[in-house]
Amino acid sequence: MKVNLKRKLVLILLSIIMVMGNIAFGQESTVVILGNNLNQQQRQEMLNVFGVKETEVTILYVTNEEERAYLKGIAPDKQIGTRSISSAYVKNLSPGEGISVETYNINWVTAEMYQNALVTAGVTDAKIIAAAPFSVSGTAALTGILKAFEELRGKEISEERKQIANIEMVRTGELGEQIGREKASQLIKEIKEEVVEKKVKNPAEIKKIIVDIAGRLDINLNPQQIEEITKLMEQISKLNLNTKEIRQQLKGISRQIGDLAKQNEEVKSFLDQIVGLFKKLIESIMGMLGK
């Protein structure tokens, strides 16, 4: 009877080790999307930026055709390009942690723009890195991020949500060129929250919200800008978004990747802690077997 009990304890501890190993090394919790036109050296560079090894994560690829399916007619051809270069890292976070976005070599789309668009698409509780081996606009990266999120959660995002999320990202970027990217992101975020919260669908009412919030933020909009934001909000109002969820998901702090050495050191420290825990568990198992 004592032998059976020991066997059960050993099996339980081994199961714990396997589960923790999966968590520690990102298995079943992290997906990497690589641009299909990257060469081998560039692919490795992206994995280094993400701080992962090829054997540790699920790796998928995104093509220029996939990117164009959502960006054609929305973003200029020069921003879409003819090759798939942008890559992405998507990792599950615990419920309630929100969306965290970092960028590397992305020169047009900001982390906040990605966050806003991702909330519209229905992405929740994820750490995301959008990256490229050299400077790119970043408009195409959203396609890869959404593809990775679908793989991660095992659930498809509707084509409507993907389309509207891409439109929101591009329109915010265009507005940012005129009034400043930070102001544009804040403006779109606040307008979206109020439109969703009040369930406003009437264009005239949406325009009033736009003018009121722009005035509160001391932002001057011309008639064309107001019209474009109105059209975007009309589309967003058709989605089943929740204001509380939007605010919760956008609470994460976005930051630009600047010090990869620091990031790698944090990863190393975390893995050292896991290894130490494994040693203690193994010692416990050996101790029981010795008895």
- Which of 6-10, 144-148, 239-243, 259-263 is predicted with the least confidence, judged by mean pLDDT? 259-263
Residue 254 has a pLDDT of 39
Structural domain count, the chain: 1
Give tens-digit pLDDT for 87-104.
999 999 999 999 999 999
Whether 31 contacts 57, CB under 8 Å: yes
User: Between 133 and 276, where is the model more confident?
Assistant: 133
Triad 276, 281, 286: Cα angle to 5°: 125
- CA dihedral over 59, 91, 136, 214, signed as positive or negative: positive
Mean pLDDT across 65-87: 91
For residue 164, pLDDT over 80 is answered with yes
Residue 14: its pLDDT value, please? 53
Q: What is the pLDDT of residue 261?
A: 37
* Whole-number Cα distances in Å, 160 to 142, 157, 164, 261: 14, 8, 6, 40
Res 77: pLDDT: 83
C-alpha 11/C-alpha 179 separation (Å) is 61
**Per-residue pLDDT reduced to its tens digit, 3-58:** 555 565 555 555 555 444 444 443 459 999 999 999 999 999 999 999 999 999 99
- Supply the pLDDT for residue 109: 95
Asked which of 26-30, 57-61, 201-205, 222-226 is least confident by mean pLDDT, the reply is 26-30
Q: Considering the entire predicted model, what is its pTM?
A: 0.77
Q: What is the pLDDT of residue 78?
A: 81
Report which of residues 217 and 262 the model is more confident about: 217
Q: What is the rounded average pLDDT for all residues in the chain?
A: 86
pLDDT band at 76 (very low <50, low <70, confident <90, very high): confident
Residue 196 structure tokens: 């969703």
Residue 241 has pLDDT above 90, yes or no: yes
DSSP state of 51: T
Contact 188, 229 (CB under 8 A): yes
Q: What is the pLDDT of residue 13?
A: 55
Share of the chain above pLDDT 90, in %: 70
Average pLDDT over residues 79-94: 93
Of the candidates 253, 79, 75, which has an alpha carbon nearest to the alpha carbon of residue 165? 75
Contact (CB, 8 A) for 119 and 243: no
- Amino acid (one-letter) located at 129: I
Containing domain of residue 145, as a range? 2-290
Does 61 score more than 80 pLDDT? Answer: yes
- pLDDT number for residue 114: 97
What pLDDT score was predicted for residue 141? 95
pLDDT digits (tens, 9 = 90+) for 121-153: 999 999 999 999 999 999 999 999 999 999 999
pLDDT of residue 11: 56
